Chain A
Amino acid sequence: MASVALSEAEKVYIVHGVQEDLRVDGRGCEDYRCVEVETDVVSNTSGSARVKLGHTDILVGVKAEMGMPKLEQPNEGYLEFFVDCSANATPEFEGRGGDDLGTEIANTLYRIFNNKSSIDLKSLCINPREHCWVLYVDVLLLECGGNLFDAISIAVKAALFNTRIPRVRVLEDEEGSKDIELSDDPYDCIRLSVENVPCIVTLCKIGCRHVVDATLQEEACSLASLLVSVTSKGVVTCVRKVGKGSLDPESIFEMMETSKRVGKVLHTSLQSVLHKEESLGPKRQKVGFLG
C-alpha cells in the first residue's frame, strides 16, 4: 500500500483529534469524503465507472464475454475480478510491485461476491452446461489516497449497474445443434440488477475510536482495520480484519453496527446518483478525466 511518512507529533495530533470526533479535514468519524462517480467512461467496454474519493482514483471496466459455465454451477455465469495497481499511483507499483496488493484486493472482491444473492448469476446463463456470460471486472487503481477497498467496491457496483450485455437467442435446428444469434439492434441488451451488490466499508481503529474513510495519514496512525461488506438492506456478506494490530471483541461488534449504519446511507446515495445520471439519457455530457 502506498504509505506516507508521518512524524510522531502528527500521529499524536491525529489520534487526539479522533478522540474528540474531529478529523484533520473537519469531518466526523462517520463521514465520507466527497465522492464523484461517473459511468460509461470507456466506450469499448460493456460497462465502466470512474470513482474519485478524495485523492483515490479508481477506474473499473467490465467486459462481457461468452464462455463455458463452471462444472459445479452449470446453470450460471460467473464474474472474474482482476485488479491492476498501476505505477501511476506510486513508483513502488512499477513492474510487479503492485501485484501483491492487486491480488489481495481481487481476492477480497471474490469473497464479497461469493454468495447467492449479490448478483443474479442465473441471468447470465445462455445454454446450461454449454454457454454462459463471463463478466470480466477489471479494476485499475490510478491514484492511492487511502480507503482503497471502499472506493473499489463503489466503482464495481457502479460499473455493474452500467453494464449492458447483448441479448442473445439460442436457435436449435433439426439436427439438434444449437446456434447463438445476436440481436440485430445494438441497443437491445440485458441489464444487471445491482440491488444486492455489496459495498465495502472500512473502519480503521485509531486510538480507541474507529473512523470511516481514512486518508493515507490516518491509515498510518491506525494499527488495525475491519473491512465489512454490507448490502443496501444491511446484510453483511463478508468481514475481514486487516492490519498488524489486534482488535477487542466488543469493538468489533461496535464497528459492525457502525458499518451497517454507514453502509445503508452509502447505498442510498449511490443508487440515487446512479439513477439520476441514467435519467440524463445518452445525450449527457461525458466528462471523464477532462473535467
Chain B
Amino acid sequence: MAGLELLSDQGYRVDGRRAGELRKIQARMGVFAQADGSAYIEQGNTKALAVVYGPHEIRGSRARALPDRALVNCQYSSATFSTGERKRRPHGDRKSCEMGLQLRQTFEAAILTQLHPRSQIDIYVQVLQADGGTYAACVNAATLAVLDAGIPMRDFVCACSAGFVDGTALADLSHVEEAAGGPQLALALLPAAGQIALLEMDARLHEDHLERVLEAAAQAARDVHTLLDRVVRQHVREASILLGD
C-alpha cells in the first residue's frame, strides 16, 4: 500500500486510534479443563491461546533437571491460517524457536522457580490470528495461564509493542504498522517494580528517541496490567461463587 499514512495530521492512526491508545483487549482464563492452566486473549485482531502444564516431573532426559529450580519450557506455535499468507509449518521454524526462547527468558524472570526444584513447567502458546503484536499477546496470555495454573510468580508480566513514526511514539502496533518497516520495540514489564523482563528492538532508531519509545511501551504495558488484573479478579470472583463461598 504505497503512500499509506501511518499517522494523519490530526494524530489518528490507520485504524483510528491515537498514538498511545491500545487496541481492545478481551481475555478469559480457564478455557480448557484438562490443562493445568489456560488462557485466551484478544488484542484487537490478534488472538492468542496459552496453556500451562506443570510443575511436573522432567520429561525426557533426567540430566536436564536443575537441582535448585524448575525448568521453564516454552513453545510458540502459530496456526497455518493465522497470517494473511498461509504458513507452511506451524512451529519448528527459526522464528518460532526464537520466540519460544524469548518467552522462556521472560518467564524465567517472573516465575518463582526456586519453589519447584527438579521439575518442569511447560508453557505452550498458540497464535490463532496474527495482526501485529503477537509477542505481546503471547506474553499476556501466558501470564494469565500461569496464574490460572496456580504457579507463583513475582509479578504479572505485561507486554506491549511500540514504534516510532513522524516524531511520535506509537503504542501497540498492528500488522499494517509493523509491515511499514519502521523501528519496533517489544517490551515485557513487571509492573509493580517497573522491572523490564525483556526488551527487543528492530530497525534503526536514533538514541535520542529511545527514551520516548520506551516510555510509550512501558505506559502501554501498565495499561495492559490494569486490564489483566481486572480479568484475574473477575475470574476469581466467578470461581468462588461457583464454589459457594
Contact A61 B92 (CB under 8 A): no
17 contacts between A and B (CB under 8 A): A42-B81, A42-B129, A44-B45, A44-B81, A44-B129, A59-B79, A62-B81, A86-B126, A87-B51, A87-B77, A88-B38, A91-B59, A95-B75, A140-B79, A140-B126, A144-B34, A289-B40
Contacts known (A86-B124, A87-B75); A57 close to B32, Cβ less than 8 A:
yes
Contact A290 B124 (CB under 8 A): no
Is B151 at the interface (CB under 8 A from chain A)?
Answer: no
Bound-complex Cα distance A33 to B77 (A):
30
Contact B126 A42 (CB under 8 A): no
Is B28 at the interface (CB under 8 A from chain A)?
Answer: yes
Could you tell me how many residues of chain A have their Cβ less than 8 Å away from some Cβ of chain B? 31
Contact B32 A142 (CB under 8 A): yes
Further 16 A-B residue pairs, CB within 8 A, beyond A65-B86, A91-B124, A142-B49: A43-B45, A44-B81, A44-B83, A45-B81, A57-B32, A61-B81, A63-B81, A82-B80, A84-B77, A84-B90, A86-B90, A88-B38, A91-B122, A143-B34, A143-B35, A289-B28
Contacts known (A94-B124, A142-B126, A290-B40); A88 close to B80, Cβ less than 8 A:
no
Is B47 at the interface (CB under 8 A from chain A)?
Answer: yes
Query: Contact size class for B?
Result: 35 or more
Interface residues, chain B, with chain A CB atoms under 8 Å away: 26, 28, 31-35, 38, 40, 42, 45, 47, 49, 51, 53, 59, 73, 75, 77, 79-84, 86, 90-92, 122, 124, 126, 128-129, 131
A61 cross-chain contacts in B, Cβ below 8 A:
79-81
**A47 to B, closest residue via Cβ:** B81
Contacts known (A87-B124, A91-B53); A289 close to B81, Cβ less than 8 A:
no
Contact B33 A55 (CB under 8 A): yes
